[in-house]
């Protein structure tokens, strides 16, 4: 089945979504002009696609969830089907772990590597190529010194999203993932570079 790609603008933010049937295969956002190239770059290379100006109810639901996450009002992509099966098994492990980081907290690249395998740098590479940013919150992964770290949309954008996600937590928390501990830290502890 062909992929449907669509853009919409809400409160001066452009959101892009690509769906194959009801599964989300790519997302993007922009505070400037819509960046169709960024969305298309994230699509599976061997599947056809078309761009529409008339979003169906599934696209509208994903747009709503992206807006909620961008504005710090939602924990995760509850109820949405996200397809990352075309990615390597390692990338899937990293992104599945990242998807469990709750709003109001961050994890470190090394912490995610401890749970998923590999090293911090390899986790950073996977996060940088995340095909569904916001839905899988790669913005919630930071450096080991709790400095902001990189982000494909820029460090300032990452910082602003995290500031909207502050929930007033004051203590770290530990998540049990695949029998391993992932320590998550309050967003308020993150340092801007």
Could you list the pLDDT tens digit for every one of the 193 residues in the chain?
A: 689 999 999 999 999 999 998 999 999 999 887 777 788 888 877 778 888 889 999 999 999 999 999 999 876 666 789 999 999 999 999 999 999 999 999 999 999 999 999 999 999 999 999 999 999 999 999 999 999 999 989 999 999 999 999 999 999 999 999 899 999 999 999 999 7
Residues 154 and 93 reside in one and the same domain:
yes
Domain shared by 25 and 111, yes or no: no
Q: Say whether both 108 and 71 belong to one domain.
A: no
Query: Parallel, antiparallel, or unpaired for β 105-108 and 49-52?
Result: unpaired
133 and 139 Cβ atoms separated by less than 8 Å = yes
Active site residue 138: yes
Domain count, the chain: 2
Q: Which of 61, 82, 103 is the last residue of a domain?
A: 82
The domain spanning residue 127 has which CATH number? Answer: 1.10.10.10
Query: Which one of the listed residues 6, 28, 97, 138 is annotated catalytic?
Result: 138
Q: Are residues 101 and 153 in the same domain?
A: yes
Question: What's the pLDDT score for residue 38?
Answer: 84
Give yes or no: residues 133 and 69 share one domain.
no
Are 182 and 122 in a shared domain? yes
- How far is it, in rounded angstroms, from Cα 70 to Cα 11? 11
pTM over 0.85: yes
Q: Which domain holds residue 107?
A: 89-189
The confidence score (pLDDT) of residue 57 equals 93
């Amino acid at each position: 089945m062909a992929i449907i790609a669509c853009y919409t603008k809400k409160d001066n933010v452009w959101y892009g979504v690509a769906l194959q049937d009801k599964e989300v295969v790519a997302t993007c956002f922009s505070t400037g002009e819509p960046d169709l190239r960024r969305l298309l770059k994230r699509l599976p290379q061997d599947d056809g696609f078309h761009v529409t100006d008339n979003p169906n109810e599934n696209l509208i639901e994903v747009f709503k969830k992206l807006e909620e996450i961008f504005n710090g009002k939602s924990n995760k992509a509850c109820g949405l089907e996200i397809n990352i099966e075309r990615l390597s098994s390692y990338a899937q492990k990293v992104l599945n772990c990242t998807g469990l980081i709750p709003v109001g907290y961050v994890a470190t690249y090394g912490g995610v590597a401890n749970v998923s395998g590999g090293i911090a740098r390899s986790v950073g590479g996977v996060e940088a190529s995340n095909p569904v940013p916001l839905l899988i919150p790669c913005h919630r992964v930071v450096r080991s010194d709790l400095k902001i770290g990189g982000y494909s949309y820029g460090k300032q954008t990452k910082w602003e999203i995290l500031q909207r996600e502050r929930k007033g937590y004051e203590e770290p928390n530990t998540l049990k993932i695949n029998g391993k501990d992932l320590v998550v830290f309050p967003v308020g502890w993150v340092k801007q570079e």
